[in-house]
Amino acid sequence: MGFAPLDPILHNQLRLAVMSLLVAVDSADFNYLLERTGATRGNLSVQITKLKEAGYIEVTKSFKDNYPNTACRVSAQGLRAFEAYVAAIKGYLGK
């Protein structure tokens, strides 16, 4: 039996970190993701855009205390992709 291919969108450290954070919460602000992942603002922004373009997350821009705020949440498609990725990883690890 061959190994399931790993989703290239998720098989990236920062994108995987963002998705892992988002699957555990309802939604999270950009600054929260920045703080938790330790990424740079520019890199995080690029990876969030990639996840959004893949349909894995939904991004909402609004204002919070008169400052622009970006909130992210996992979409149903993103959740399915994440679950498939975790299953594939477990297959590789023989769990």
Closest approach of Cβ 62 to another protein, in Å? 12
Whether 28 contacts 72, CB under 8 Å: yes
Closest approach of Cβ 15 to another protein, in Å? 9
Whether 71 contacts 62, CB under 8 Å: yes
Closest approach of Cβ 55 to another protein, in Å? 20
Q: Which of 29, 77, 83, 87 binds another protein (CB under 8 A)?
A: 29
- What's CA 4's distance to the chain center, in Å? 20
Q: Which of 21, 54, 79, 84 binds another protein (CB under 8 A)?
A: 21
Residue 24 to residues 6, 19, 27, 47, 48, Cα–Cα distance (Å): 21, 9, 9, 19, 17
Q: Which two tokens stand for residue 87?
A: 């299953």
Say whether residue 32 binds another protein (CB under 8 A): yes
Binding site for another protein (CB under 8 A): 6, 11-14, 16-17, 20-29, 31-32, 35-37, 39, 43, 47, 64-65, 85-86, 89, 92-93
